[in-house]
Structure 1
Amino acid sequence: MGNKLVTFTDQQFENYQDCTFFTRKEILRVFKRFREVRPDLVPKQMKKNQAVSVRIPLEDSIEKLPELHENPFKKRICEVFSRDGKGNLSFEDFLDLLSVFSEQAPRDIKVFYAFRIYDFDGDQHIGQEDLDQAVLLLTKHTQELTPEDRQQIVEKVIEEGDVDGDGKLSYMEFEHVILRAPEFLSTFHIRI
């Protein structure tokens, strides 16, 4: 007759299992990792709407989560998955993020979120500025590419993927490019 701490109700577990690719055990592991980032901020037991209202600040999530710490897109990933759009993650945001990056997530979901991550300006297309920003992030620490080199890469990607000739990649064009580069999606996962 011990006092067992109930983190989530059965209904919450069912909802999380319906909306993610995780089991109850995995959901509890994700919660434990979320709580470890800011134990002073995240309660041991989620009450009412705390799973969406308690948010870990962007700086803490980037610095204290090893899965994000080394990723050049870490800030952008947090922005895309946070409901506030600023990168501050609630538990449900964090759960969604890890679910999409899990090995169980289907390819089409990964492509959808990869598109959102690369669409820095949020205009539903990946234009030259978006691609330049992505190349800059990917090569930030090497500093081997000049602005002219980056521009050449951007132009080549647009040339290869822009089927309709509008100078940018639509979701369908992006998806087509990704399908031709299966190694891209193999790196689009995080283990829990």
Structure 2
Amino acid sequence: MGNSSSMLTQYDIEEVQCHCDNLFTQQEIVSLYQRFCQLDRNSKGYILADEFLSVPEFAMNPLSQRLLKMVDGLNFKDFVAFLSAFSAKASIQRKIEFMFKVYDADLNGKVSFNDMIEVLQDLSGPFMSDDQRKQVLSQLLEEAGYTKEVHLTQDDFVKILANSDLKMEVEVPVD
């Protein structure tokens, strides 16, 4: 499995399934492996950030620069683990943990008001002013019982978003 030109064995498939908490079927893992091999242009056994940008949906994502920090150098097992947050079978907890990592760009385990503003800016672009972003975010935090001076932890993120209806799903095409 280290060399992306090799074939997956049954053991490899089961190991990857276990690594991603069985969120993908064996057939989906084989399809993901084929896609991984396509992205791994030089058969290095891992995917570089620029290779991810060859996926149009990824390159067009307003959060692509933040996501690139998370995906640069992923081997196949970690590639599947990364994608597992987008599985229809993934728990809300897993999706929120993934979102927290997107917001926590400096990887300090905390998300500040400014971190949240940056993500909101990436998502809204020129369609919202800085004042509008600050107002919306301040109101959201206030409704959740926080102030803009707070530094949210992953547990805070779970508390705030646990009852939301997050739609973070990508369908894995199976041949």
| TM-score clears 0.5 | yes
CA distance in 2, matches of 1:173, 1:56: 32
CA distance in 2, matches of 1:161, 1:123: 22
Q: Which has the larger radius of gyration?
A: 1
Q: CA deviation at 1:134?
A: 0.7
Relative distance call for 1:67 and 1:30 in structure 2 (3 A) is farther
Q: List alignment gaps of at least 5 residues for structure 1.
A: 43-52
> Runs in 1 of length 4+ with deviation above 4 angstroms?
162-166
1:33 corresponds to? 35
Identity of aligned pairs, percent? 23
Q: CA deviation at 1:121?
A: 2.2
- TM-score for both structures, normalised by structure 2: 0.81
1:22 corresponds to? 24
CA distance in 2, matches of 1:169, 1:13: 37
* Equivalent in 64, 70, 76 of residue 74 of structure 1: 64
Determine whether 1:161 maps to 2:149. no
Which aligned pairs between 1:1-192 and structure 2 lie closer than 5 A? 7-20=7-20, 21-38=23-40, 40-42=41-43, 54-62=45-53, 64-80=54-70, 82=71, 87-140=72-125, 143-163=126-146, 167-182=150-165, 185-186=166-167, 188-192=168-172
CA distance in 2, matches of 1:165, 1:69: 31
CA distance in 2, matches of 1:148, 1:97: 34
Alignment RMSD (CA, Å)? 2.4
Q: List alignment gaps of at least 5 residues for structure 2.
A: none
Instruction: Give the number of the structure with larger relative contact order, counting CA–CA contacts within 8 Å between residues 6 or more apart.
Output: 2
